[in-house]
Amino acid sequence: MTCSEFLALLDDLIDDSVTPETRAELQKHLHGCDHCEVTLNTTRKTIEIYRSHQIYDLPPDLRERLHAAIMARCKKGC
Protein backbone atom coordinates (compact mmCIF):
# COMPACT_ATOMS: atom_id res chain seq x y z
CA MET A 1 0.00 0.00 0.00
CA THR A 2 1.29 3.45 -0.92
CA CYS A 3 0.91 6.62 1.14
CA SER A 4 -1.65 7.95 -1.36
CA GLU A 5 -3.73 4.82 -1.02
CA PHE A 6 -3.47 5.09 2.73
CA LEU A 7 -4.62 8.71 2.68
CA ALA A 8 -7.57 7.85 0.46
CA LEU A 9 -8.78 5.47 3.16
CA LEU A 10 -7.87 7.67 6.10
CA ASP A 11 -11.44 8.77 6.82
CA ASP A 12 -12.78 5.27 6.68
CA LEU A 13 -10.12 4.22 9.14
CA ILE A 14 -10.89 7.12 11.48
CA ASP A 15 -14.64 6.49 11.23
CA ASP A 16 -14.09 2.80 11.76
CA SER A 17 -15.81 1.83 8.56
CA VAL A 18 -13.22 -0.45 6.99
CA THR A 19 -13.34 -4.16 6.55
CA PRO A 20 -11.00 -6.21 8.74
CA GLU A 21 -8.91 -7.01 5.65
CA THR A 22 -8.50 -3.35 4.73
CA ARG A 23 -7.76 -2.50 8.33
CA ALA A 24 -4.98 -5.08 8.39
CA GLU A 25 -3.47 -3.59 5.23
CA LEU A 26 -3.68 -0.09 6.68
CA GLN A 27 -2.04 -1.25 9.89
CA LYS A 28 0.71 -2.88 7.92
CA HIS A 29 1.38 0.34 6.07
CA LEU A 30 1.31 2.33 9.31
CA HIS A 31 3.86 0.06 10.85
CA GLY A 32 6.50 1.09 8.39
CA CYS A 33 5.49 4.69 7.70
CA ASP A 34 6.05 7.40 10.28
CA HIS A 35 4.55 10.03 7.99
CA CYS A 36 1.21 8.31 7.75
CA GLU A 37 1.25 7.54 11.44
CA VAL A 38 1.70 11.24 12.20
CA THR A 39 -1.02 12.14 9.73
CA LEU A 40 -3.46 9.67 11.26
CA ASN A 41 -2.78 10.70 14.85
CA THR A 42 -2.87 14.42 14.21
CA THR A 43 -6.02 14.17 12.09
CA ARG A 44 -7.73 12.29 14.92
CA LYS A 45 -6.54 14.95 17.31
CA THR A 46 -7.86 17.69 15.02
CA ILE A 47 -11.35 16.21 15.11
CA GLU A 48 -11.18 15.64 18.85
CA ILE A 49 -10.12 19.22 19.52
CA TYR A 50 -12.93 20.65 17.42
CA ARG A 51 -15.44 18.38 19.09
CA SER A 52 -14.37 19.16 22.62
CA HIS A 53 -13.91 22.92 22.29
CA GLN A 54 -17.08 24.57 21.08
CA ILE A 55 -15.96 27.87 19.68
CA TYR A 56 -19.35 29.45 19.22
CA ASP A 57 -21.23 29.24 22.46
CA LEU A 58 -24.61 30.77 22.91
CA PRO A 59 -24.36 33.05 25.97
CA PRO A 60 -27.19 32.45 28.47
CA ASP A 61 -28.64 35.96 28.26
CA LEU A 62 -28.69 35.93 24.47
CA ARG A 63 -30.19 32.48 24.57
CA GLU A 64 -33.04 33.62 26.79
CA ARG A 65 -33.68 36.67 24.64
CA LEU A 66 -33.81 34.70 21.40
CA HIS A 67 -35.86 32.01 23.02
CA ALA A 68 -38.43 34.52 24.29
CA ALA A 69 -38.63 36.13 20.85
CA ILE A 70 -39.18 32.80 19.11
CA MET A 71 -41.84 31.60 21.53
CA ALA A 72 -43.68 34.94 21.50
CA ARG A 73 -44.02 34.73 17.73
CA CYS A 74 -45.01 31.09 17.82
CA LYS A 75 -47.77 31.80 20.32
CA LYS A 76 -49.07 34.52 18.04
CA GLY A 77 -49.12 31.96 15.24
CA CYS A 78 -45.94 33.41 13.72
Q: Which residues bind other proteins (CB under 8 A)?
A: 3-4, 7-12, 14-18, 22, 34-35, 38-39, 41-43, 45-51, 53-58, 62-63, 66-67, 69-71, 73-75, 78
Looking at beta carbons only, is 17 or 27 nearer to other proteins?
Answer: 17
Q: How far apart are CA 69 and CA 63, in angstroms?
A: 10
Closest CA to 22 of 32, 13, 35: 13
Q: How far apart are CA 25 and CA 33, in angstroms?
A: 12
Minimum distance from residue 22 beta carbon to other proteins (Å): 8
Minimum distance from residue 28 beta carbon to other proteins (Å): 17
Q: Are 29 and 6 in contact (CB under 8 A)?
A: yes
